Amino acid sequence: RNVLHWVRSKDIRQEDNKGLHAASQKAKEGKGSLITMYLWSPNDLVFHGTSPARSDFILDNLRILKSQLEDKNIPLAIVTSEKRGSKTQRVMDFAKEHDISHIYANMEYEIDELRRDISIAKSVQEEKDMAFDVLHDQTVVVPGTLTTRSGGPLKVFTPYQRSWLSETKSEFSLLDSVPPPDGNDTCARKDLAKLFDTQIPNLPETKQFDSEEERARIRKLWPAGNEAGMRRLADFLHNKVADYAAHRSEPAGDPSSRLSAYFSAGIVSVREVLQQTKKANGGKHFDAGDAGIIAWVREIVFREFYRQVTVTTPHTAMNLPQNLKFDNVEWEDDVEGWQKWCEGKTGVPFIDAGMRQINTEAYMHNRLRMNTASYLRANLLIDYRKGERYFAEHLIDWDLSNNTQGWEPSYTVFNPVVQAEKCDKHGDYIRQWVPELRGLKGKEIFAPHDRLSKEEFEKLGYPYPHVNYAETAQRAKQRYKRNLAEA
Ligand code: FAD
């Protein structure tokens, strides 16, 4: 009988893929064929607001994976699930139709995805001769497993990081990878041949790019495939990581790896990334050696930590803040402020630069994500979930755990002028994204409305600040305090 690996939108690769490897081993043992499948659910993309850039990235990577697997005579079937609720049925029908004895997949930790898997597990259980195994593949350390002395999950980052470093140091095997299927998992049976013919779908109507040129431009920025991702890593480790500790918050130099799109769709394996990073660190673990590497791995640990948060506070995957008291905040309905924020026309250069970057590159530097999020939820006092959704609709690297944790409301309010002066000292990042301000050379660029004369400012053709920073920061703090006390 045949064995199925079900590819998901977080593991679109053949390299070091735990579920795919387990399925290939099982197929060999039982002398059955290895089949792979992707469940294409256009309504999920609409439900999550997935950006055209990310939707297209998923399809482009599936195209590469399909061709790599087919070279080994392993089909990748694309099965469409028109209704969000029909996934279990579609998977079970497929499994029965193709005489599957065992279904493998890698675990997704969000609540809807877990419920879907439970539903499939129940249906599989009703079949006497079928099994369903879901493996941990997305992280090095399994989410939920790093605990305090009393056994509860670690909920604070610093102790989590300490525990993560110690766990990965003592358990070397956590970084071990598994090989891709080797091509002996042949699918020679004639009745399976038609699976090779299933086509990579087109983008749904609502997820189209404005033009073909737009699609080509985004694809050039984010080339698909594991090879492209690992090349990006090599380039980062060779040229940039040494400066990462000192300069990672300075967006003008593009100091980070830009690997997030590859992590979020599982185009690269975090284990393989860390193996290469360890090599670049002269074989040392991540608590010693190069300061840049230590700082960079800390971010990877944040990614792991946020998956632990998703697992231990599942309501964060259901549109609720981790600190539920923030659900009581009375948000403002500032239609004009919202529009200006989206378009990068708030009149605050650092914020506008960040928003113009996301609108152009389907990506934004982390420092800007922090600042634009703070500006929306505090200075504009707009429901942070609208911003969270906007990010999903525009980022190529959208990831529920990272995005919801990044947007988690708090009392911290960033002053975007002070932030710009610190992180964009010479104004180069602002100049790159806000052409109206390109002619400004000094400190005026950080707050042109306050630092230029009225005539000089008006000549720029740059918007007036939509709100006053100090007043609105104060308003937000008072509002949060009052509403949280009432909660
Ligand atoms: P690098 O600095 O090179 O870091 C390497 C990897 O570590 C990243 O690719 C990412 O996987 C992980 N990482 C880095 N920073 C963080 C972080 N703060 N939290 C968790 N993991 C991190 N990241 C996403 O992948 N998808 C999102 O949808 C997302 N939304 C965000 C929203 C807000 C409001 C904020 C403040 C942050 C968000 N982040 C998100 C986290 C972070 O901004 C991005 O991961 C990072 O900017 C990606 O660039 P990079 O790959 O060059 O990162």
Which pLDDT tens digit goes with each residue over 394-403?
999 999 999 9
Counting from 1 in the atom list of ligand 1, the atom nearest the Cα of 392 is 28
Give the per-residue pLDDT at 191: 73
Give the per-residue pLDDT at 433: 98
User: Mean pLDDT over residues 250-260, rounded?
Assistant: 97
Give the distance between the most distant pair of CA atoms in the chain. 80
Give the residue from 62, 56, 39 showing the smallest Cα distance to 208: 56
Query: Which residue owns the Cα nearest ligand 1 atom 41?
Result: 402
Known binding residue 9? Answer is no
Give the per-residue pLDDT at 291: 98
What is the interface pTM, i.e. ipTM, of the complex? 1.00
CB proximity list for 408: less than 8 A, separation 6 or greater:
316, 321, 322, 323, 326
Give the per-residue pLDDT at 184: 67
Query: Does the Cβ of 260 fall within 6 Å of ligand 1?
Result: yes
Query: Does the Cβ of 310 fall within 6 Å of ligand 1?
Result: no
Q: Which DSSP category does 128 fall into?
A: T
Known binding residue 164? Answer is no
Give the per-residue pLDDT at 431: 98
Give the per-residue pLDDT at 185: 58
Give the per-residue pLDDT at 24: 95
Query: Does the Cβ of 402 fall within 6 Å of ligand 1?
Result: yes
Distance CA 91, CA 130 (A): 12
Residue 408: how many other CB atoms lie within 10 Å: 18
Q: Say how many Å lie between the CA of residue 394 and the centre of ligand 1.
A: 14
Distance CA 395, CA 361 (A): 8
Query: Does the Cβ of 298 fall within 6 Å of ligand 1?
Result: no
Query: And the tokens for 409?
Result: 């409301």
- Which sign does the torsion angle of CA 384, 386, 389, 393 carry? negative
Give the per-residue pLDDT at 186: 62
Known binding residue 302? Answer is yes
Amino acid code (one letter) for 390 = Y
Q: Say how many Å lie between the CA of residue 477 and the centre of ligand 1.
A: 26
Amino acid code (one letter) for 475 = R
Q: Say how many Å lie between the CA of residue 458 and the centre of ligand 1.
A: 37
Question: In b/e form, how buried is each residue of 278-312, taking b as 16+ CB within 10 angstroms?
Answer: bebbeeebbeebbebbbbbbbebbbbbbbbbbbbb
Selected from 3.30.70.2660, 1.10.3720.10, 3.40.50.740, 3.40.50.620, the CATH number assigned to the domain covering 1-136 reads 3.40.50.620
pLDDT band at 187 (very low <50, low <70, confident <90, very high): low
User: Mean pLDDT over residues 407-436, rounded?
Assistant: 98
**Share of residues in the chain with pLDDT > 90 (%):** 94
Query: Does the Cβ of 410 fall within 6 Å of ligand 1?
Result: no
pLDDT band at 31 (very low <50, low <70, confident <90, very high): confident
Ligand 1 test: best mutation among 249, 286, 402, most atoms within 8 Å of CB?
402
Q: Say how many Å lie between the CA of residue 366 and the centre of ligand 1.
A: 6
Give the per-residue pLDDT at 8: 98
pLDDT band at 375 (very low <50, low <70, confident <90, very high): very high
pLDDT band at 331 (very low <50, low <70, confident <90, very high): very high
Q: Say how many Å lie between the CA of residue 274 and the centre of ligand 1.
A: 16
Distance of CA 180 to the CA centre of its chain: 24
Contact 57, 99 (CB under 8 A): no
Say if 1-136 and 139-176+223-315 have the same CATH topology. Answer: no
Query: Does the Cβ of 392 fall within 6 Å of ligand 1?
Result: no
**pLDDT at 114 exceeding the cut of 80:** yes
Query: Does the Cβ of 397 fall within 6 Å of ligand 1?
Result: yes
Query: Does the Cβ of 414 fall within 6 Å of ligand 1?
Result: no
Q: Is 420 helix (H, G, I), strand (E, B) or coil?
A: helix
**pLDDT at 442 exceeding the cut of 70:** yes
Query: Does the Cβ of 259 fall within 6 Å of ligand 1?
Result: yes
Q: What is the mean pLDDT of the chain?
A: 96
Query: Does the Cβ of 257 fall within 6 Å of ligand 1?
Result: yes
Question: In b/e form, how buried is each residue of 427-443, taking b as 16+ CB within 10 angstroms?
Answer: bebbbbbbeebeebeee
* pTM: predicted TM-score of the whole model, two decimal places: 0.97
Query: Does the Cβ of 302 fall within 6 Å of ligand 1?
Result: yes
Give the per-residue pLDDT at 485: 96
**pLDDT at 190 exceeding the cut of 80:** no
- Segment 198-243, tens digit of pLDDT: 999 999 888 999 999 999 999 999 999 999 999 999 999 999 999 9
Q: Say how many Å lie between the CA of residue 257 and the centre of ligand 1.
A: 10
Domain 324-486: which topology? DNA Cyclobutane Dipyrimidine Photolyase, subunit A; domain 3 (1.10.579)
**pLDDT at 272 exceeding the cut of 90:** yes
- Domain 139-176+223-315 falls under CATH 3.40.50.11060: no
pLDDT band at 14 (very low <50, low <70, confident <90, very high): very high
Counting from 1 in the atom list of ligand 1, the atom nearest the Cα of 264 is 25
DSSP bridge partners of 36: 5, 76
Contact 462, 307 (CB under 8 A): no
- Quick one: which H or E segment has residue 51? none
Give the per-residue pLDDT at 308: 97
Contact 321, 403 (CB under 8 A): no
pLDDT band at 128 (very low <50, low <70, confident <90, very high): confident
Q: Say how many Å lie between the CA of residue 211 and the centre of ligand 1.
A: 28
pLDDT band at 391 (very low <50, low <70, confident <90, very high): very high
Distance CA 188, CA 453 (A): 77
Known binding residue 393? Answer is no
Distance CA 207, CA 81 (A): 17
Known binding residue 399? Answer is yes
Give the per-residue pLDDT at 189: 65
| CB half-sphere exposure, 132, CA atoms < 13 A | 19
What radius of gyration do the chain's Cα atoms show? 24
Q: Say how many Å lie between the CA of residue 305 and the centre of ligand 1.
A: 12
Give the per-residue pLDDT at 25: 95
Q: Is 141 helix (H, G, I), strand (E, B) or coil?
A: coil
User: Mean pLDDT over residues 115-136, rounded?
Assistant: 96
Known binding residue 382? Answer is no
pLDDT band at 6 (very low <50, low <70, confident <90, very high): very high
Give the per-residue pLDDT at 366: 98
Domain ranges of the chain: 1-136, 139-176+223-315, 324-486
Give the per-residue pLDDT at 102: 97
**Share of residues in the chain with pLDDT > 70 (%):** 99
At how many degrees (to 10) do helices 270-280 and 226-239 cross?
A: 30
Phi, psi of 135 (to 5 degrees): -105, 160
Query: Does the Cβ of 408 fall within 6 Å of ligand 1?
Result: no
User: Mean pLDDT over residues 128-152, rounded?
Assistant: 96
Give the residue from 305, 340, 336, 324 showing the smallest Cα distance to 483: 324
Query: Does the Cβ of 293 fall within 6 Å of ligand 1?
Result: no
